[in-house]
């Protein structure tokens, strides 16, 4: 009984600490305004949204594709904000921060339920909470869809955990409703049923089987049953994927469309770019342009080869190190809808796309690190010290990264400084400066944008 209360106390302290970390990094956003990138087109200039919560607005949210995208619950959340906050971007930012903090707390609670480990779960949640790559998702009002879908995703995992303990129709219905809400917030969650299958493999171990000679245990046919169990969720994914695809086709002109092979090559490279950004999160910007002359073919080939080697190596040790298999495929699969094979935007890659996928990599680091240190004499002290150093370093770096979102000029100026040949950032800054009457500066940035990409003249 005492141990149980002690564990609850530790868990409560961890949750409070995580919320404090989130506020330390992202609390500054309550002083930030809207920015001139997507916030106008998706939020405050949309009449159906800025009119507040109305029946017409709700109907519009579910039947229209503003700027060729479909995320009705995200739009309804903004309607509620205009209804109660009015035109107050600071409170819009506060909503994002609160949603992110709630997702972080839910993540540590859910991982602890799945794995039984408080401290490894806490480390995963802490890195997820304050990694510099989170800045774009949390302090950009338009990216409400990340933090909103994030909370429904983690709630879906929680509901699934309880379903596995006592399968009932009511519990499955809860999973389905939460998953549907997540899909209506951001269609990127279409891969969630596969993530549930990965969790079946580890840490739930629902596929466990033993072999004696050529005979398999009675659980040898568990995978078909587990897949069939997720069939209604796959149907939901297909429906939302179809509805979302209705808005993709007209999103860009033919000149903006990359050839299919170029998109495949960029996808391979992007997978590794995101891994590197996780390890060394520097030079982060809001927009990363495709190289004007395309990616060198050798980069795509090398990236593909590295991914294949890593995947084969992880597959080979999947039985002894199942967390490697689950974490790696969590990362690969969750990124798949936005990796760029189907082109829905103009950038080569984007920080916001890592919001949920990188949780898989954090699982690898937490459980892999524990395995590496298992035979060390002072493993607890070393692991604790390393975790504190990493968390603090990322927290301060993320706080600085978030500060670049304090206004549009700061955001675009920073992005120009940390990226190369960024025509989009120059053009966006030129538009902002022109609106502010700084004509000469606007002309300079317009000319630079045209120098980089003359076809836009």
Q: What pLDDT does 21 receive?
A: 98
Cβ-defined contacts of 59-67 (< 8 Å, 24+): 65/246, 65/247, 66/41, 66/42, 67/38, 67/41, 67/42
Contact 33, 407 (CB under 8 A): yes
pTM for this one? 0.95
Helix (H) or strand (E) holding 347: strand 347-349
Q: For the segment 139-183, what is each residue's pLDDT rounded down to a tens digit?
A: 999 999 999 999 999 999 999 999 999 999 999 999 999 999 999
Phi, psi torsion values for 349, nearest 5 degrees: -160, 175
Q: For the segment 60-92, what is each residue's pLDDT rounded down to a tens digit?
A: 999 988 766 789 999 999 999 999 999 999 999
Q: For the segment 402-419, what is each residue's pLDDT rounded down to a tens digit?
A: 999 999 999 999 999 999
Mean pLDDT of 355-360: 99
Q: What pLDDT does 111 receive?
A: 99
Q: What pLDDT does 150 receive?
A: 99
DSSP for 255-302? GGPPPHHHHHHHHHHHHHHHHHHHHS--S--S-EEPPTT---HHHHHH
Q: Which range scores top for mean pLDDT: 287-291, 292-296, 405-409?
A: 405-409
């Amino acid at each position: 009984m005492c141990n149980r209360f002690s564990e609850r106390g530790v868990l409560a302290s961890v949750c409070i600490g995580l919320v404090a970390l989130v506020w330390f990094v992202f609390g500054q956003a309550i002083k930030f305004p809207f920015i001139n990138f997507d916030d106008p087109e998706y939020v405050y200039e949309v009449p159906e949204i800025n009119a507040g919560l109305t029946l017409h607005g709700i109907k519009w949210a579910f039947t229209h594709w503003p700027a060729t995208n479909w995320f009705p619950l995200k739009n309804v959340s903004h309607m509620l904000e205009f209804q109660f906050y009015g035109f107050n971007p600071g409170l819009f930012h506060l909503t994002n921060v609160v949603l992110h903090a709630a997702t972080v707390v839910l993540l540590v609670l859910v991982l602890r339920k799945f794995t039984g480990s408080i401290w490894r779960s806490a480390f995963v949640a802490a890195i997820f909470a304050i990694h510099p790559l989170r800045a774009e998702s949390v302090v950009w009002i338009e990216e409400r869809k990340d933090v909103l879908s994030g909370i429904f995703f983690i709630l879906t995992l929680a509901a699934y955990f309880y379903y596995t303990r006592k399968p009932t129709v009511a519990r499955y219905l809860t999973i389905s409703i939460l998953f549907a809400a997540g899909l209506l917030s951001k269609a990127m969650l279409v891969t969630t049923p596969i993530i549930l299958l990965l969790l079946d493999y580890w840490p739930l171990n629902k596929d466990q089987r033993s072999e004696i000679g050529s005979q398999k245990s009675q659980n040898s046919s568990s995978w078909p049953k587990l897949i069939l169990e997720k069939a209604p969720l796959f149907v939901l994914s297909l429906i939302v994927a179809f509805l979302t695809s209705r808005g993709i086709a007209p999103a860009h002109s033919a000149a903006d469309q990359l050839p299919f092979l170029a998109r495949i090559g960029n996808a391979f490279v992007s997978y590794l770019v995101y891994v590197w950004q996780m390890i060394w999160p520097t030079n982060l910007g809001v927009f990363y342009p495709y190289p004007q002359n395309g990616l060198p073919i050798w980069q795509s080939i090398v990236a593909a080869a590295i991914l294949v080697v890593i995947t084969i190596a992880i597959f080979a040790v999947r039985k002894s190190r199942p967390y490697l298999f689950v974490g790696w495929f969590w990362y690969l699969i969750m990124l798949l809808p936005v990796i760029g094979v189907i082109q829905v935007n103009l950038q080569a890659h984007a920080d916001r796309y890592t919001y949920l996928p990188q949780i898989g990599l954090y699982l690898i680091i937490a459980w892999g690190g524990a395995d590496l240190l298992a035979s060390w004499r002072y493993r607890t002290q070393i692991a604790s010290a390393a975790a504190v150093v990493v968390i603090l370093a990322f927290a301060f770096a993320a706080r600085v990264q978030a500060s670049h979102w304090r206004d549009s000029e700061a955001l675009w100026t920073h992005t120009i400084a940390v990226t190369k040949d960024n025509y989009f950032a120059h053009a966006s800054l030129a538009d902002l400066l022109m609106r502010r009457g700084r004509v000469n500066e606007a002309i300079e940035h317009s000319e630079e944008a045209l120098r980089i990409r003359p076809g836009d003249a």
